[in-house]
Each structure stands twice: as structure tokens, then as C-alpha cells.
Chain A
């Protein structure tokens, strides 16, 4: 029988939530790495028992952990992230040049096909790859050649937080950086191009600039790798040409600010966002926690509320904290900064908390085990 395993990263440790395909009764294990910030945990599509976790703290820096038994046991692997060559500078908050310096790993993205290969998106923004299961890391420096000296951090730091691999083309990878924008490589990371045409950001001097946009998250359905959905700082966007151009699909959302975006496992036109009131008020509009679903790839949205708090709710849902399983019906999951992890076993129609009182949730990933 199929199983679902949810990998939850929080401000004070990791948790693994497991259930059978009914997704009614959940086993909770953790905290793993108690007391450490777990920015992201993700399993290898090539070997679901191979997991990678980004563990860090203000005191002791970055650790990367690897599991080969689905999270029962873990082994620290390499944590040395050295920028290629002379790293140079990017722009600091005051507009002056600032040396590139590694702070932490925001996102780990295992290869779709090779369990030994994993990508790491880091702050200050860069993409690293390991071909030896995380023991050593090498930067793909071509990304920072892509006007990196003009990138400038947003309030959350200059992080590379999104890595999306094209399942139909091993050379094509999409990444997103706050606050630089979206970028694409077609040659496995050697060269990159900005893919921000059509984005409009009033918070930068030229709202249509080639770089400088604060992209929050990008999602793709594996059956249609040229169709991308983006939650930007403000605006929900869509591209039908692999990022060559974007158009806004915010439609009737109550707010088009938010962080995560996800695509239904079986319907590539069904997408999910969690509207947040504004860039300074990081909680749902009107104190009502609502996931919004579009069956039309954007523009027409419906509020999903059944089982979610509809009064006095002032939590946030961070960019990596929503994911779907691949069962039928599709399960949708998200975690909040209030420590709840909500699950919907029926595509968003109904919700229930799996856990209510974890530390603030930073990331949620889902594995469907068959």
C-alpha cells in the first residue's frame, strides 16, 4: 500500500510525518537535529530513502545531513561551500559593493535521476552541486556571471531558494533568487540567462528591469516543463514558454502577495497559492487562513477554507512550506509559522491539521512511497 512521508523543516529541528494512503492517521517523529534551524529537507526522486537536510544555526553555521533510510538515521556530510575563483562583490543594502559571503543553504534539490547528485541554493545567492552525495560541493559560477555584481539582497537576505529541474531536458534548470529574479540554464549550469520579461515590480527603480525582481517561488508540473507558475513578492505570474515571457494571473485573489505556489499532481492547470495581506503584514487577509485554488492555470481562483481557521489567524506560510503528494486524489500540504502542518487528502476541498504546535515551519516536502 502506498505511503506518504512529509519532511518538515522548522526553526528548531526537523520532523517526519508519515501516513498510509488514506492520510488520516499520522505518525510524527522528531525533533531531529533539535535546536537547529532546518531550512529544507528533500528526498531523492531516484532513491526515496536518500534524504538531504540543510541544518544551520547562528552559533555553529552550516551542516548538511544525509539519510539513506528515509530519515531514521543521519550522517553529516560536507559543509564547505567555497565560491569559485575570486568571488567578487554584489550590491549591499546601501548600494555599495559587498563581498560575496556564504551564510547558509536555503534549498537542497536532489537530481531527478542520480541519487549521488544534489544541488544546493545558498545565501549569498549561488548554486552549488555535489556529485558525491553531499561530501563535496562545487559552485556553478556561470549563474553569478549573469549580472551578479548588480544583485542586491531583499530584507530576507540574498538567497537562492528555488531550484526546478526540467524532467524532459537534463540540461535545463530554473532557479530563483531574492531579490534578483529567475534564471535558466540550458547547458546544465555552464551558462545562464535571466528570464524575467513580463515581470513588473514597483519596488525597484525600473519596474521592468532585467534583474532585481523579488521572486518568491516557482512551480512546474513535470508533464509540461515549459509552463511555469510564479509567486512573486506581489503578483502571481505564469509563463508558457519556459520563462521567456510572463503574464500576470492574479485574477480575483484577495491579495496577490504570498510566498509558496504549487501545482496539482494530476492536473497541470490546477494551482495553489496562499494569499498574504502585504509585504509588511505577513499574515492572511482578514485573519482567515485560505488556500486559493485555480483550475484554469490562474486568473479564476476559489477560496479553500473547510477545516482552516477563519478568524484570528495571523500566521505566515513560507516559500518552501507547501507541497503535494502524487496519490489520487492529490494531497496538498502546507506548514505555518505558527507551527501547524495542514493536510488536505482531496486536492484542497477539506483540511485538517496533522500537528498544531511545532516550531515555526520553514519547509514542507512530500514523498509518495509506493
Chain B
């Protein structure tokens, strides 16, 4: 079971509260987790990564285990603590002030 934490605007859009828990077949990677997330909540397609290229949107970040995984390759395995559900995979809207 993979735990995913979404930013508030995407929780509202997906109509979920708290963490999203996903069964992700095979190795847990950014790509496989987001595939499973978008399959469960199709309204999130295009809001975290591009529909076609699957590239992360510029102002979205991926954190886990106190690490910034945003620039890891999409098929890189996530930390073990994420893959066993001990730690969440966190989707973050980048800080912006002003």
C-alpha cells in the first residue's frame, strides 16, 4: 500500500480528505504511483504532470522521507519506506509568495 499526500487544491478537486492509499503493482516509482493515482482519480490528469509527455509540472514537487525527489527520473524506484507504506509520497505545490 502506497500512501500519497496531495496538496489541498488537488484534494478538493479529487474530493478526497487525508491521504490517498493506493495499490501499486510492481516496483513503486513516481511514474507507477502517479499512474495509479490518476487511474483512481481521473480529474487529476494533467494537474501534476503533462498529459502527453508525463513531465512534472514546473510548480509541482515530489517529497518523501525528507528528500526532494522532484528531479529523479520517473522510473527510479521510490525509497523502501514509501514502497512499504511507512512514509508517504508527498505531492507539493511549490512555494510562491507575493
Contact = CB atoms under 8 A, between A and B. Distances in A.
Interface of A: 34-36, 57-63, 76, 79-80, 82
Nearest to A60: B47
Contacts of A79: 45-47
A60 B59 CA distance: 8
Contact of A80 (B13, B45, B93): B45
Contacts of B9: 35-36, 57, 59-60
Contacts of A36: 9
14 contacts: A34-B12, A57-B9, A59-B93, A59-B94, A60-B9, A60-B10, A60-B13, A60-B47, A60-B57, A61-B46, A63-B43, A63-B47, A79-B46, A82-B51
B2 interface: no
Given A59-B94, A63-B47, A82-B51, A76 B59 contact: no
B48 A60 contact: yes
Interface in B1-53: 7, 9-10, 12-13, 43, 45-48, 51-52
Contacts of A80: 45-46, 51
A59 B57 contact: yes
Contacts of A82: 51-52
Contacts of A60: 9-10, 13, 47-48, 57, 60, 93
Classify the secondary structure of A's interface with B.
Answer: loop
A4 to B, nearest CB: 29
Classify the secondary structure of B's interface with A.
Answer: loop
A36 B7 CA distance: 13
A80 B49 CA distance: 12
A59 B46 contact: no
Nearest to B42: A76
Contacts of A34: 12
A61 B47 contact: yes
Most buried by A among B9, B52, B59: B9
Contacts of B57: 59-61
Contact of A58 (B10, B13, B48, B96): B96
Leading 6 A-B pairs by shortest Cβ distance: A76-B43, A60-B47, A59-B93, A59-B59, A80-B51, A79-B46
A47 B82 CA distance: 48
A82 B51 CA distance: 9
B46 A62 contact: yes
Given A36-B9, A57-B9, A76-B13, 4 more contacts: A61-B47, A61-B57, A63-B47, A79-B47
Nearest to B60: A59
B90 to A, nearest CB: 14
A43 to B, nearest CB: 22
Contacts of A76: 13, 43
Most buried by B among A57, A76, A80, A82: A76
Interface in B52-97: 52, 57, 59-60, 93-94, 96
B56 to A, nearest CB: 11
Nearest to A36: B9
Contacts of B96: 58-59
Given A80-B45, A80-B51, A82-B52, A63 B59 contact: no
A79 B47 CA distance: 9
A34 B8 CA distance: 11
A62 B7 CA distance: 16
A143 to B, nearest CB: 21
A60 B52 CA distance: 15
B38 to A, nearest CB: 12
